[in-house]
Amino acid sequence: MKSILSILGILFFVPFTTAQIEKPKISISYTNAQRHEVLLQLEQVADINFYYDRQWLGDELISGTYNNTHLSEILEDIFAATLINFFFLDVQTVILTQNLVIKDELHQSFYKDSIDAIHTNSMEIAKNPAFYLMEKVDSNSKIETVRIGKEQKSTRQEKYTLSGIVRNNLTGEPIQNLAIIQKGSSNGVSTDINGLYQIELSAGLNSIQTKAIGIETVEKRVIMYNDGRLDFRLNDNVEQLDEVVVESNRLKNVETVVTGVVELDVADIKNIPLVLGERDILKTALTLPGITNAGEGAAGYNVRGGGTDQNLILLDDAVIYNPSHFFGIFSALNPFTTGGVTIYKGSIPAEYGGRLSSVFDINTKDANTKKFSGEASLGPVTSNLTLEIPIVKEKSGVILGGRSTYSNWILNSLDEESLKNSKASFFDIVAKYNDRVNETSTIAATGYYSRDAFSITSDSIYSYSNRLFSLKWNRKLNDKNSMNTVLANSQYGFNIDFEGNSDKNFNLGYRINETEFKLKFLKLHKDNHTINYGLSSKLYVVNPGEVVPQGSASIVAPLEIQLEKGWESALFLSDNIKLNDKLSVDLGLRYSFFAALGKSSQKIYETGVPKNEGTLTEIKEFDNNEIIKTYGGLEVRASTRYFLTPSLSLKVGYNNTFQYIHTISSNTTVSPTDTWKLSDINIAPQRANQVSLGFFKNLGDNAYELSLESYYKKSNSILDYKVGAQLLLNESIETEVLQGEGKAYGVEFLLKKTEGRLNGWLGYTYSRTFTKLDSDFIEERINNGEYFPSNFDKPHDISLVTNYKFTERFSLSANFVYQTGRPVTFPVGSYFLDGSEYALYSDRNKFRIPDFYRLDISFNIEGNHKIKKFAHSFWNISVYNVLGRNNPYSVFFVTEDGSLKAFQSSIFAIPVPTITYNFKF
């Protein structure tokens, strides 16, 4: 344990210790000066800046003379009799911190008292106080000593319980998943969703430490006289994220109350082998149980047997409709600006809604507000540049990221005439501004735009783009309450530009735009309740497509499918209740409501018969903003965690969800021309219910995390389409839509090793997912109305992700993936019609394409860590698909010259080597 912590210490404090080495020696003399005066003098002499609160320093007068002495020595003397601690942020910046609670007198008496109190934990006390002093220099927080409980002479226990709440000093929000570790032992707990923790400590002196991503690490000496309470108020960490992550959340696996949550941080994926040089957090998520896609290079994600349209993908709280580039080979998230992603695949928190299967909550890093920095990468397909620019020092900053391909340039510079007009390009840009307005408020604003353009045939250009904007305001109302306001707008659209030689030139466009306002309150009630409540309201405007004739010769009639408008709102309330040490529950309720709004003409069909031109009875007209149809319902989000043993927990969850917006696609995989449609008079919302059960265990001093989860999900009114449906620009889409039932179940196993030279994870999932489309009418029935495997039903899925560090600079990574081939519809025979042979297709998804497997290897070289170096470099050499496995992506049957031929296509059929160069400055 200790060695892990010291490694941690090295990792964590490297910048500071090295910075100290660079510090100049100085000469200074002062007599009977107040401390702050001395500091001012030092600022002059040593060209440094101190950051502190004047009040801490008091009015005492001090004197001293130093000749060619290290600054740190001088500072130690200055602050010797105070509670002030200092650390060097860089050569020119010294931050002073102060103990908030303890008075000098207590501090003085501490050693004596603790010696008296100790029974068991004598190891700590045996250590020389100098040990602490040393640590104090290293650490950016000071070690404070706290006495807990009133000592009772009559009853002396071996162990006492320390509990309390950990909050963010700035926002007052509880900090969850913060680890509290007893130093020098394997004892440790983590805070729950309410920031609450409870740890058993030996009577007497204990040293405890907090650890979490982005939160300062604080160490305290705690003398336990009895059970008691210790609250923490912690600041956000001034550290760079990358270096901290791996060691954090040590107990999160077993502690979290919510089931089916996956978290990934960019730092975790740095060494994972790359395809064409792109680091990709969402592709990495696919190696975790329960998250799959239709195949290599496919866009869209299937979470626990859900469709690709059932995921709410949020970037800084705004929806991204199509987070992929180049048909899904790359994801559209900039890997350098992305901080991390949390994926809720089981119990979705009550504050989120509108999609059945999952929430992908992706956040952008906060900009460095201290100094200008940046990161760039050069890969074979794209280049990427990220800049972090402080605006008001220590207060606000902006992060800018941009990424683009060069493929278009390559295409244009070719001599080949037929390719000159071809296009395939994409780019994405992201900017985030973060501002600590004052002690109680923070503001963050994010803007994002991504665009893809490609031409499949030389007479048409396809393009699609995502645009989003979000504004967030967090405000602490008082110690117990805080408020969180979000305003977000997203737009997704695609365009087809057709310019052949004929008179049919046109331009086709599709757009969806949504604006959401969300207000969330957080209330801490007593010690054991954390209550979240609020409301969200969203307005959708969909332009399902318009055709604009191009050129005067075009005889294409302008066509505009009527706009769709919808209003989706929800009220939510959740309470995380700690019932006792072992049992916690998280109860959430969400009432969601959807109204389809005019202006619109809605087609009314006879009930009980298939909808088609013949059964159309009436067309109802609705005025602008008139309510056409409303849907709504109560959604329950409940989960509970029970500790069977301190390192083994059992979690159970139940979840139901509604979805009012649907992807319209007649493809088996996601295509860029898929459109989204709102529920209306003819299309009901999709609904799902999920129950999940999981066991979570930490082993080997928390070095191994083990989980076994299972789920059963039933969905209703999920959308499918009649065979060969023509969906684009269809004015009567409801005549092509089938709504059926779905069911999915699975068992997910994950073993994760987070520490040591060898780390990584092994996941295995057994899951099935089925669809049923039944009707009294043959044209609305698929596979005789029985359950059939969905397009993404892949029962066995094994992923192994490993990384081995030879030294701090060299590491080797390998991924292995095996999946059952996905179901496809094959011909079971052939027939002749009009002299040509055609395929007679089987029942839907009766066959499978061959199994998928792939091994990737990469070798990573970190540049050296000399502080003076301008840039810190990182090389990644990857070979994707080392085995050269020709994994079929799809199979299809073509009638050519009157006879039937079978083909299979694959995307990466040979090993693909790539070299990427990254550097930070």
Partner 1 sequence: MKQQALTFHYYILLFLLAGSFFSGCTEPFAPDLLPQAESILVVDATLTNESRNHEVLLSRSSQEQGKLQEEKNATVRILDDNQQTFTFIETEPGRYISNLPFKADTSRSYRLQIVTSNGKSYTSKAESLPQTSQIENVSAQKTVTDNGSEGVQITVDSFDPTGNSTYYRYEYEETYKIIAPKWVPDQLVVLSEESMAVGVVNRDPNKEERTCYATDNSISIILTKTSGAGEDRVSDFDVRFLNKDNFIISHRYSILVKQYVLAQQAYSFYEKLQDFSGSESLFSQSQPGFINGNIFVDDDSEERVVGIFEVSSVSEKRAFFNYAELFPDEDLPPFIDECRPTNFDIDGTPSVFEFVKSNRVSYTNNVTNPATGALEEYIVVPRICGDCTVLGSAMVPDFWEE
Give, as ranges, the residues between 447 and 486 that touch partner 1 (CB under 8 A): 455-459
Q: Minimal distance in Å, beta carbon 810 to partner 1?
A: 24
Q: Should residue 831 be labelled a site residue for partner 1 when binding is judged by CB under 8 A? A: yes
Query: Of the two residues 623 and 897, which places its CB atom closer to partner 1 in the complex?
Result: 897
Residue among 174, 214, 297, 305 that touches partner 1 (CB under 8 A):
297
Of the candidates 231, 12, 55, 50, the one whose C-alpha atom is nearest the C-alpha of residue 141 is 12
Query: Of the two residues 3 and 418, which places its CB atom closer to partner 1 in the complex?
Result: 418
Contact call for residues 767 and 773 (beta carbons, < 8 A): no
Q: Should residue 521 be labelled a site residue for partner 1 when binding is judged by CB under 8 A? A: no
The secondary structure of 266-302 as a DSSP string is: GGGGTTS--BTTB--HHHHHTTSTTEE-SSTT--S-E
Q: Should residue 886 be labelled a site residue for partner 1 when binding is judged by CB under 8 A? A: yes
Q: Should residue 728 be labelled a site residue for partner 1 when binding is judged by CB under 8 A? A: no
Q: Minimal distance in Å, beta carbon 378 to partner 1?
A: 12
Contact call for residues 174 and 187 (beta carbons, < 8 A): no
Query: Of the two residues 543 and 671, which places its CB atom closer to partner 1 in the complex?
Result: 671
What is the distance between the alpha carbons of residues 219 and 235, in angstroms, rounded to a whole number?
13
Window contacting partner 1 (CB under 8 A); options: 91-99, 637-645, 842-850, 863-871: 842-850
Q: Should residue 847 be labelled a site residue for partner 1 when binding is judged by CB under 8 A? A: yes
For residue 592, give Cα distances in angstroms to 315, 437, 702, 763: 22, 33, 40, 35
Residue among 66, 521, 841, 853 that touches partner 1 (CB under 8 A):
841
Q: Should residue 308 be labelled a site residue for partner 1 when binding is judged by CB under 8 A? A: no
Q: Should residue 726 be labelled a site residue for partner 1 when binding is judged by CB under 8 A? A: yes
Residue among 217, 657, 914, 916 that touches partner 1 (CB under 8 A):
914
Site for partner 1 in 271-290 (CB under 8 A): 276-277
- 78: exposed, middle or buried (Cβ count in 10 Å: 0-12, 13-18, 19+): buried
Helix pair angle (71-78, 35-46), 10° resolution? 170
Query: Of the two residues 156 and 901, which places its CB atom closer to partner 1 in the complex?
Result: 901
Contact call for residues 449 and 467 (beta carbons, < 8 A): yes
Query: Of the two residues 20 and 895, which places its CB atom closer to partner 1 in the complex?
Result: 895
What is the distance between the alpha carbons of residues 565 and 841, in angstroms, rounded to a whole number?
38
What is the distance between the alpha carbons of residues 617 and 870, in angstroms, rounded to a whole number?
74
What is the distance between the alpha carbons of residues 304 and 293, in angstroms, rounded to a whole number?
11
Q: Which two tokens stand for residue 509?
A: 């466009």
Q: Should residue 69 be labelled a site residue for partner 1 when binding is judged by CB under 8 A? A: no
Residue among 61, 115, 437, 828 that touches partner 1 (CB under 8 A):
828
Q: Should residue 420 be labelled a site residue for partner 1 when binding is judged by CB under 8 A? A: no
Q: Minimal distance in Å, beta carbon 723 to partner 1?
A: 4
Looking up tokens 């070095």, which residue turns up? Answer: 703
Q: Should residue 892 be labelled a site residue for partner 1 when binding is judged by CB under 8 A? A: yes
Q: Minimal distance in Å, beta carbon 416 to partner 1?
A: 8
Site for partner 1 in 370-399 (CB under 8 A): 380-381
Q: Should residue 839 be labelled a site residue for partner 1 when binding is judged by CB under 8 A? A: yes
Query: Of the two residues 188 and 328, which places its CB atom closer to partner 1 in the complex?
Result: 328
CA torsion 914-917-918-921 (nearest 10°) is 180
What is the distance between the alpha carbons of residues 340 and 265, in angstroms, rounded to a whole number?
4
Q: Should residue 782 be labelled a site residue for partner 1 when binding is judged by CB under 8 A? A: yes
Site for partner 1 in 523-562 (CB under 8 A): 547, 555-557, 559
Q: Should residue 871 be labelled a site residue for partner 1 when binding is judged by CB under 8 A? A: no
Residue among 47, 53, 503, 776 that touches partner 1 (CB under 8 A):
503
- φ, ψ (nearest 5 deg) of residue 268: -65, -30
Q: Should residue 244 be labelled a site residue for partner 1 when binding is judged by CB under 8 A? A: no
Q: Which two tokens stand for residue 551?
A: 């050129």
Q: Should residue 410 be labelled a site residue for partner 1 when binding is judged by CB under 8 A? A: yes
Residue among 47, 231, 776, 779 that touches partner 1 (CB under 8 A):
779
Looking up tokens 């080949």, which residue turns up? Answer: 416
Q: Should residue 901 be labelled a site residue for partner 1 when binding is judged by CB under 8 A? A: yes
Query: Of the two residues 570 and 817, which places its CB atom closer to partner 1 in the complex?
Result: 817
Q: Minimal distance in Å, beta carbon 841 to partner 1?
A: 5
The whole-angstrom distance between residue 782's C-alpha and the CA centroid of its chain comes to 37
Residue among 37, 909, 917, 920 that touches partner 1 (CB under 8 A):
909
Which residues, in sequence order, are CB contacts of 659 under 8 Å at separation 6+?
A: 309, 310, 354, 355, 356, 685, 686, 687, 688
Q: Give the E-state strand segments of 455-505 in sequence order.
A: 460-476, 481-498
| Angle value at C-alpha 703, between 698 and 707, nearest 5 degrees | 35
Q: Minimal distance in Å, beta carbon 480 to partner 1?
A: 52
Looking up tokens 């740190």, which residue turns up? Answer: 72
Q: Minimal distance in Å, beta carbon 700 to partner 1?
A: 41
Site for partner 1 in 340-359 (CB under 8 A): none
The amino acid at 774:
D
What is the distance between the alpha carbons of residues 660 and 678, in angstroms, rounded to a whole number?
6
The secondary structure of 165-178 as a DSSP string is: EEEETTT-PBPPS-
Site for partner 1 in 558-597 (CB under 8 A): 559
Q: Which two tokens stand for residue 93?
A: 């910046």
Contact call for residues 683 and 739 (beta carbons, < 8 A): yes
Residue among 155, 833, 866, 868 that touches partner 1 (CB under 8 A):
833
Q: Should residue 706 be labelled a site residue for partner 1 when binding is judged by CB under 8 A? A: no
Give 713's strand partners.
690, 744
Query: Of the two residues 554 and 649, which places its CB atom closer to partner 1 in the complex?
Result: 554
Residue among 20, 237, 407, 440 that touches partner 1 (CB under 8 A):
407
Q: Minimal distance in Å, beta carbon 464 to partner 1?
A: 13
Contact call for residues 744 and 306 (beta carbons, < 8 A): yes
Query: Of the two residues 550 and 842, which places its CB atom closer to partner 1 in the complex?
Result: 842
Query: Of the two residues 338 and 669, which places its CB atom closer to partner 1 in the complex?
Result: 669
- 482: exposed, middle or buried (Cβ count in 10 Å: 0-12, 13-18, 19+): buried
Site for partner 1 in 113-142 (CB under 8 A): none
Specify the DSSP element, H or E, that contains 889: strand 888-896
Query: Of the two residues 430 and 879, which places its CB atom closer to partner 1 in the complex?
Result: 879
* 846 C-beta neighbours (distance < 10 Å), count: 15
Residue among 111, 830, 861, 867 that touches partner 1 (CB under 8 A):
830
Exposure on the CB side of residue 471, measured as CA atoms within 13 A:
5
Residue among 133, 419, 634, 861 that touches partner 1 (CB under 8 A):
419
Q: Should residue 883 be labelled a site residue for partner 1 when binding is judged by CB under 8 A? A: no
Query: Of the two residues 495 and 895, which places its CB atom closer to partner 1 in the complex?
Result: 895
Query: Of the two residues 104 and 503, which places its CB atom closer to partner 1 in the complex?
Result: 503
Residue among 111, 131, 372, 903 that touches partner 1 (CB under 8 A):
903
Q: Minimal distance in Å, beta carbon 420 to partner 1?
A: 11
Q: Should residue 609 be labelled a site residue for partner 1 when binding is judged by CB under 8 A? A: no
Pairing of strands 311-315, 358-364: parallel
Looking up tokens 């395809």, which residue turns up? Answer: 275
Contact call for residues 258 and 653 (beta carbons, < 8 A): yes
Q: Should residue 101 be labelled a site residue for partner 1 when binding is judged by CB under 8 A? A: no
Cis, bond preceding 599 (omega within 30 deg of 0): yes
Site for partner 1 in 652-671 (CB under 8 A): 666-671
- φ, ψ (nearest 5 deg) of residue 347: -85, 120
